[in-house]
């Protein structure tokens, strides 16, 4: 598209601006006078100036990945040109501290833009890309609104910490932790909150996932698990625009665990000849503690700009009830992005970004490690379905002499609320020294504060809570947690053609970051039968019934130097070299600095002369790379001798946290990647194939030893010998099947085939702790040489003998490798169909080849419950009748195939368009989430990962009374003014 300004051709100088379809200026576009060697390039604002010999001359305007235009000068002096993209293969992508054209990429990176996000109201950004990117597995750990998720890029290699990728928002690297305290009201450890909850998904423009070391090495010591770059929406020059969206919806439990109904329970009692256990009622405890939940979500964005200055401001509100009664999640968010340019030359600029958020949670009494009396889900599943919840007087039925807990009483006794407030702000002045050299500084602060108040009233017959002897019962806790991160970055960017056909895009930089974490926890017990007001609970209890602890972790400082150079010769041959040096106070004095290089090359074969005849082929690009990244995801101060000071039973306490290790060094990942990108049939078919091999070395690990001076076990952080290997193949394929004015249909898919193995580890490290009656101290997972990470090792179950008792290989005295929690295949599938103004999108995700240990079935629904508590329906009609005396024991009996394919997100949208003069681009839609899942797993959801780690060593693939997944239907509208 060419805009010509009519004027007399009084001189031979042509001026103009080059932009793309989004009206964004294109820096570095080539303008050449046809038939001559005269040419120039557009500057950072897309402006160019060139001298032509004749008013009838022609200009050839080109940019890699965009359609070349030939423009007739035709006596004009000002010519503004819009270049159309040939395809999406050459969009601008963010790769760390700078943006580059995708044609310059040599590493494995995937961009997901807003139009391709999962639809509907979602709590956190990670949910936007579930199933969208090859090599990325995302698991919702809990159905609790605002709950955390697990994101793994190219497999699991974390023997400590979370194994989560580094998230970077508008150039600011996040801490990766949630400020929500993990304390609960005496019933165990609550699942974590999502550290990304403070970001409003409606404010996100795109997410870039960096997967291999060539792409991630510029982030050095924090990039071992991959990097996710989040870019928020920006304003554009032009009239002020107001974008509004609103939705409301309902949620119900998506799947239930199959337990006996009242009539089925009575039949089972009769089958086993039991005369006790039938109380005459028929109830469904899970139905009683769950509900139809409602949600509402509103967002508004105001944007605009002129004269090179742009802005965008936004507000958001979300109110989501949980499907478990008394749980909910409310979020208030605000954001501002501004870009301002100064001086007549517009060379001086300033970017300002701010996100402010507060969310409130009401949290269910569900924990990852509840004892045999359990938390709410185990209480509901195991409740005798013939027993009423209420006594003859209409009050809640409570039996202090039983380990069975009335789930309605558990809800009534529990009061657990959290509030987390977050501010992320950055300011970034920059100066365009020349059209090809820019200096930029960024200063940011990320402050997050969490408060949690939890109590369990004393009438609940919960272990450690109910009155006994002189103990009055009751439990209350108050915790606060603060996280503060500061980042200061200075970069110098160079982008210039340094020789004929040779372009250099380079960056050098220095960065300083510090991280602070502090908090306190107060607990009180024995405050009697009061509805625990927290001040009263702490003031009215005896000093011996109070505890106080505080922590102020040593501030972690990170000092970094980094550089990257991208050489592009003739738009065919690309070489990338990256280097980063990180110095961290977390490590011993002898190993403070780590060094992280990477090298990669790409060859755009399609641009070779011998490929000119292949008109059906739009792109064929080969990539190869190698690099090294690091990991410092372990507690601050772990290389030092540290103590925790507190108060218990009215006396001061001193507890060793860890022993010193001055030789502690960096954990590192070395990764090789070979890939190919292709586009066919005018980009109707595009895709990529990548092979990766990742080796994790010098594993950071808390080695536990007994210290007589403190009378207990104290960790010493060490580097374990051995490696974790993840290798595999990623496939991505996207096709436009139909593309016409009134109808279009596109289909996309990705699959990752991955293998995981531990090698050269000395000894066996146990993790995967089980909970419940008869399982105290039992573990089922190991880190062991030759096996997958967190391999399931336990008794091998061989069915029931003639008397109904479990049979095991070697009589159960030997444990065997019987399960693998790591998937062999992860996949995503999406489709978008449009007919005129009506469109339908659907997104599936799936995982295959992994096993799940069903701790819930093992301990909560065992046959020995019959007569007192409920059991699994599957136990009633076994070929051999199981004995009621068959003991509860860990074994492969409870390892199930975790394969699944889930329709996670689907939307029907009707585009009304403009209405009158004010309303523009009006859309109404119906959206569904977690609509169905195809699986043989008997738990609530095969997409599960309850943290069952031991002494800081995580686990994988264990299900224990998790908050159930919700199926949600939403109705929404969005439009602009």
Whether 91 is covered by a domain: the verdict is: no
Q: What's the pLDDT band for 347 if we cut at 50, 70, 90?
A: confident
Output the six-digit token pair for 819.
């399960």
SS3 label, residue 283: coil
* pLDDT higher than 90, residue 374: no
Same domain, 256 and 141: yes
Of 51, 85, 119, the one marking the end of a domain is 85
What's the whole-model pTM score? 0.87
Does residue 467 have a pLDDT over 70? Answer: no
Dump pLDDT digits (tens) for 547-560: 777 777 778 899 99
Predicted local distance difference test score (pLDDT) of residue 465: 64
Q: Which residues pair with 419 in a beta bridge?
A: 360, 451
Q: Please tell me the least confidently modeled range out of 69-73, 359-363, 372-376.
A: 372-376
Q: Per-residue pLDDT averaged across 681-699, rounded?
A: 93
**Residue 951 pLDDT > 90:** no
Pick the closest to residue 875 from 846, 854, 850 (CA basis).
854
CA atoms within 13 A on the CB side of 422: 28
Hey, how many other C-beta atoms are within 10 angstroms of the C-beta on 885? 10
Residues 573 and 691 in one domain: yes
Rounded-to-integer distance, Cα 875 and Cα 861, Å: 9
Q: How far apart are CA 208 and CA 94, in angstroms?
A: 7
Domain residue limits at 11: 2-85
Using CA atoms, how far apart are residues 844 and 833, in angstroms rounded to an integer? 15
Starting at the edge strand that comes first in sequence, how are the strands of the sheet with 69-72 ordered?
Answer: 39-41, 30-33, 58-62, 69-72
Place of tokens 């790379």: 625
Residue 967 to residue 256: CA distance in whole angstroms = 12
- Per-residue pLDDT band at 775 (split at 50, 70, 90): confident
In the chain, what is the straight-line distance between the N-terminal and C-terminal CA atoms, in Å? 27
Residue 675 lies in a domain: yes
Angstrom distance (rounded) from CA 93 to CA 566:
14
Domain holding 829: CATH number?
A: 2.40.170.20
- The pLDDT assigned to 322 comes to 95
Count the residues in the chain: 977
Q: Please identify, among 85, 118, 135, the residue that sits at the C-terminal boundary of a domain.
A: 85
Q: Per-residue pLDDT tens for 566-597?
A: 999 998 999 999 999 999 998 888 888 999 99
Checking DSSP bridges between strand 69-72 and strand 919-935, what pairing results, if any? Answer: unpaired
Confirm if 100 and 494 have CB atoms less than 8 A apart: no
Shared-domain flag, residues 443 and 554: yes
CA 726 to chain centre: 20
Q: State the Cα angle at 145 between 140 and 149, rounded to 5°.
A: 25
Does residue 137 share a domain with residue 41?
no
The SS3 assignment for 680 reads strand
**Residue 92 domain flag:** no
DSSP secondary structure letter of residue 891 = S
Are residues 143 and 70 located together in one domain of the fold?
Answer: no
**Spatial distance between the Cα atoms of 535 and 524, rounded to a whole number of angstroms:** 10
Mean pLDDT of the chain: 88
Give one word for 233, left, alpha or beta, with left for phi > 0 and alpha for psi -120 to 50. beta
Tokens for 492, please give them.
């110098």
Q: Which residue has the higher pLDDT, 622 or 526?
A: 622
Residue 893 CA to residue 896 CA, distance in Å, equals 8
- Regarding whether 495 and 354 lie in a shared domain, the answer is yes
The arithmetic mean of pLDDT across residues 659-664, rounded, is 87
Asked whether residue 71 is domain-assigned, the answer is yes
pLDDT at 4: 44
Q: How many domains does the chain have?
A: 2
With 50 as the cut, is the pLDDT of residue 45 above it? Answer: yes
CB 40 within 8 A of CB 436: no
Same domain flag for 308 and 391 = yes
pLDDT grade for 87, boundaries at 50, 70 and 90 = low
Model confidence pLDDT, tens digit, residues 891-913: 999 999 999 999 999 999 999 98
Find the helix or strand (DSSP H, E) in which 576 lies: strand 573-584
Bridge partners, residue 33, by sequence: 59
User: Mean of the pLDDT values across residues 801-817?
Assistant: 93
Whether residue 401 has pLDDT greater than 90: no
- Is 70 exceeded by the pLDDT of residue 532? no
Judge whether residue 650 has pLDDT over 70: no
Q: Are residues 132 and 9 in the same domain?
A: no
Furthest-apart CA pair in the chain: how many Å?
Answer: 108
What three-state secondary structure class fits 573?
A: strand
Q: Can you tell me the distance from the alpha carbon of 900 to that of 172, in angstroms, rounded to the nearest whole number?
A: 36
pLDDT of 186 reads: 67
Is the same domain home to 241 and 319? Answer: yes
Same domain, 377 and 445: yes
Look up residue 963 and give its DSSP letter: P
Give pLDDT tens digits for 628-641.
998 888 888 888 88
- Per-residue pLDDT, 758: 96
Q: What's residue 628's pLDDT?
A: 94
Output phi, psi for 586, to 5 deg: -70, -25
CB 692 within 8 A of CB 728: yes
R_g over Cα of the chain: 31
Please give the pLDDT value at position 706: 63
Q: Which residues pair with 509 in a beta bridge?
A: 491, 562
pLDDT at 5 over 80: no
Q: What is the CATH number of the domain that holds 50?
A: 2.60.40.1120
State both tokens at 538: 């702490």
Sign of the C-alpha dihedral computed for residues 571, 503, 101 and 753 taken in this order: positive
- State how far the Cα of 562 lies from the Cα of 582, in Å rounded to an integer: 9
Higher pLDDT, 704 or 687: 687
Instruction: Report whether 293 contacts 321 (CB < 8 A).
Output: yes
Token digits for 866?
A: 């019959």
> Which residue do the tokens 């996949």 mark?
827
Whether the per-residue pLDDT at 3 is higher than 60: the answer is no
Tens digits of per-residue pLDDT, 134-180?
A: 999 999 888 889 888 899 999 999 998 888 999 999 999 998 888 99
| 52 shares a domain with 123 | no
Structure tokens at 946: 């309850």
How many Cβ atoms from other residues are within 10 Å of residue 250's Cβ? 16
Q: What are phi and psi of 433, to 5 degrees?
A: -65, -45
Q: Residue 710 has what pLDDT?
A: 53
Q: Which residues touch 117 (CB under 8 Å, ≥6 apart)?
A: 128, 129, 132, 201, 204
User: Can you tell me the distance from the alpha carbon of 626 to that of 927, in angstroms, rounded to the nearest whole number?
Assistant: 42
Q: In this structure, are residues 706 and 684 in contact, taking their beta carbons and an 8 Å threshold?
A: no
User: End of a domain among 85, 119, 142?
Assistant: 85
Token digits of residue 959: 């299900």
Confidence of residue 404 (pLDDT cuts 50, 70, 90): confident
Q: What is the pLDDT of residues 810-845, one digit of tens each?
A: 988 899 999 999 999 999 999 999 999 999 999 999
Is the model more confident about 24 or about 596? Answer: 596
Residue 968 lies in a domain: yes
Indicate whether 102 pLDDT > 80: no
In a domain, 579, yes or no: yes
- Single out the residue of 412, 393, 418, 495 nearest to residue 191, CA to CA: 418
**Does 81 share its domain with 115?**
no
* Parallel/antiparallel/unpaired status of strands 2-5 and 78-82: antiparallel
Nearest Cα to Cα of residue 625 among 605, 602, 646: 602
Work out the percent of the chain whose per-residue pLDDT is above 70: 92
Any idea what DSSP says for residue 527? -
In a domain, 100, yes or no: no
Phi, psi at 722, each rounded to 5°: 110, 175
Tokens of 148: 């955390």
């Amino acid at each position: 598209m060419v805009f010509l300004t009519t004027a007399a051709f009084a001189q031979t100088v042509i001026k103009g601006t080059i932009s793309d379809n989004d009206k964004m200026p294109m820096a570095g576009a080539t303008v050449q006078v046809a038939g001559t060697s005269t040419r120039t390039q557009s500057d950072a604002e897309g402006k160019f100036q060139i001298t032509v010999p004749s008013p009838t001359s022609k200009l050839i305007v080109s940019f890699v990945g965009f359609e070349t235009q030939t423009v007739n000068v035709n006596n004009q002096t000002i010519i503004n040109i819009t270049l159309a993209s040939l395809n999406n293969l050459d969009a601008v992508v963010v790769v760390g501290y700078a943006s580059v054209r995708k044609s310059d990429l040599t590493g494995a990176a995937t961009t997901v833009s807003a139009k391709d996000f999962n639809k509907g109201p979602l709590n956190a950004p990670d949910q936007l890309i579930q199933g969208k990117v090859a090599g990325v597995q995302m698991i919702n750990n809990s159905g609790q609104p605002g709950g955390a998720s697990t994101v793994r890029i190219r497999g699991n290699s974390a023997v400590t910490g979370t194994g989560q990728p580094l998230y970077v928002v508008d150039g600011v690297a996040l801490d990766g932790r949630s400020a929500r305290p993990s304390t609960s009201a005496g019933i165990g450890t609550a699942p974590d909150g999502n550290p990304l909850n403070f970001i409003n998904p409606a404010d996100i423009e795109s997410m870039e996932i960096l997967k291999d070391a060539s792409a991630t090495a510029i982030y050095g010591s924090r990039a071992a698990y991959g990097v996710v770059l989040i870019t928020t929406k920006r304003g554009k020059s032009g009239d002020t625009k107001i974008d509004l969206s609103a939705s409301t919806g309902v949620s119900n439990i998506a799947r239930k665990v199959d337990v006996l109904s009242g009539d089925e329970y009575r039949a089972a009692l009769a089958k086993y000849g039991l005369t006790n256990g039938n109380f005459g009622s028929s109830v469904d405890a899970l139905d009683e503690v769950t509900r139809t939940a409602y949600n509402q979500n509103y967002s508004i964005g105001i944007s605009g700009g002129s004269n090179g200055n742009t802005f965008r401001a936004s507000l958001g509100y979300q109110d989501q009830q949980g499907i478990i009664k008394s749980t909910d999640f409310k979020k208030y968010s605000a954001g501002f992005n501004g870009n301002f340019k100064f001086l007549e030359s517009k060379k001086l600029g300033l970017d300002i970004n701010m996100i402010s958020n507060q969310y409130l949670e009401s949290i269910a009494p569900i924990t990852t490690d509840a004892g045999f009396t359990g938390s709410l889900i185990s209480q509901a599943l195991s409740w005798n379905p013939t027993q009423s919840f209420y006594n003859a007087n209409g009050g809640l039925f409570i039996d202090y002499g039983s380990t069975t807990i009335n789930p309605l009483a558990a809800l009534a006794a529990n009061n657990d609320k959290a509030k987390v407030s977050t501010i992320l702000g950055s300011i970034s002045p920059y100066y365009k020294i020349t059209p090809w050299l820019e200096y930029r500084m960024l200063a940011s602060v990320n402050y997050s504060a969490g408060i949690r108040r939890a109590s369990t009233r004393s009438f609940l017959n919960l272990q450690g809570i109910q009155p006994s002897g002189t103990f009055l019962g009751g439990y209350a806790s108050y915790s606060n947690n603060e996280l503060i991160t500061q980042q200061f970055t200075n970069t110098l960017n160079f982008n210039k053609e340094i020789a004929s056909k040779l372009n250099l895009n380079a960056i050098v930089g220095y960065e300083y970051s510090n991280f602070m974490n502090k908090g306190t926890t107060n607990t009180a017990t024995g405050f009697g039968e009061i509805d625990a007001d927290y001040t009263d609970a702490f003031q009215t209890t005896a000093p011996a019934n109070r505890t106080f602890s505080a922590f102020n972790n040593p501030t972690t400082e990170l000092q970094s130097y980094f550089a990257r150079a991208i050489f592009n010769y003739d738009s065919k041959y690309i070489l990338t070299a990256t280097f980063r040096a990180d110095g961290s106070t977390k490590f011993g004095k002898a190993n403070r600095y780590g060094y992280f290089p990477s090298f990669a090359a790409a060859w755009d074969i399609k641009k070779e002369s011998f490929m000119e005849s292949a008109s059906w082929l739009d792109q064929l690009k080969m990539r190869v790379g190698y690099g090294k990244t690091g990991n410092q995801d372990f507690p601050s101060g772990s290389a030092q001798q540290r103590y925790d000071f507190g108060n218990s039973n009215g006396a001061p306490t001193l507890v060793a946290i860890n022993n010193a290790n001055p030789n502690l060094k960096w954990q590192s990942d070395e990764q090789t990647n070979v890939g190919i990108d292709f586009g066919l049939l005018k980009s109707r078919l595009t895709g990529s194939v990548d092979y990766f091999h990742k080796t994790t070395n010098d594993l950071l690990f808390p080695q536990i030893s007994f210290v007589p001076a403190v009378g207990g076990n104290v960790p010493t952080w060490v580097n374990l010998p051995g490696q974790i290997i993840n290798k595999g193949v990623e496939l991505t394929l996207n096709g436009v099947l139909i593309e016409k004015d009134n109808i279009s249909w596109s289909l996309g898919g990705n699959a990752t085939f991955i293998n995981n193995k531990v090698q050269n580890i000395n000894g066996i490290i146990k993790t995967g702790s089980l909970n419940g009656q008869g399982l105290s101290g039992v573990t089922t997972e190991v880190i062991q040489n030759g096996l997958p990470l967190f391999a399931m090792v336990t008794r091998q179950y061989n069915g029931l003998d003639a008397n109904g008792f479990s049979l095991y290989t070697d009589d159960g005295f030997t444990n065997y490798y019987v399960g693998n929690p790591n998937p062999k295949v992860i996949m995503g599938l999406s489709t978008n169909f449009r007919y005129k103004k009506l469109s339908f999108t659907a997104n599936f995700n799936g995982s295959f080849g992994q096993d799940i240990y069903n701790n819930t079935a093992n301990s909560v629904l065992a046959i020995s419950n019959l007569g007192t508590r409920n059991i699994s329906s599957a136990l009633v009609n076994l070929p051999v009748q199981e004995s009621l005396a068959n003991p509860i024991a860990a074994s492969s009996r409870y390892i199930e195939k975790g394969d699944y394919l889930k329709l996670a997100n689907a939307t029907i949208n009707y585009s009304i368009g403009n209405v009158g003069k004010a309303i523009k681009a009006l859309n109404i839609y119906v959206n569904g989430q977690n609509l169905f899942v195809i699986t043989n797993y008997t738990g609530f959801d095969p997409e599960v990962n309850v943290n069952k780690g031991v002494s800081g060593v995580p686990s994988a693939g264990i299900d224990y009374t998790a908050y159930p997944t919700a199926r949600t239907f939403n109705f929404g509208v969005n439009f602009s003014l």
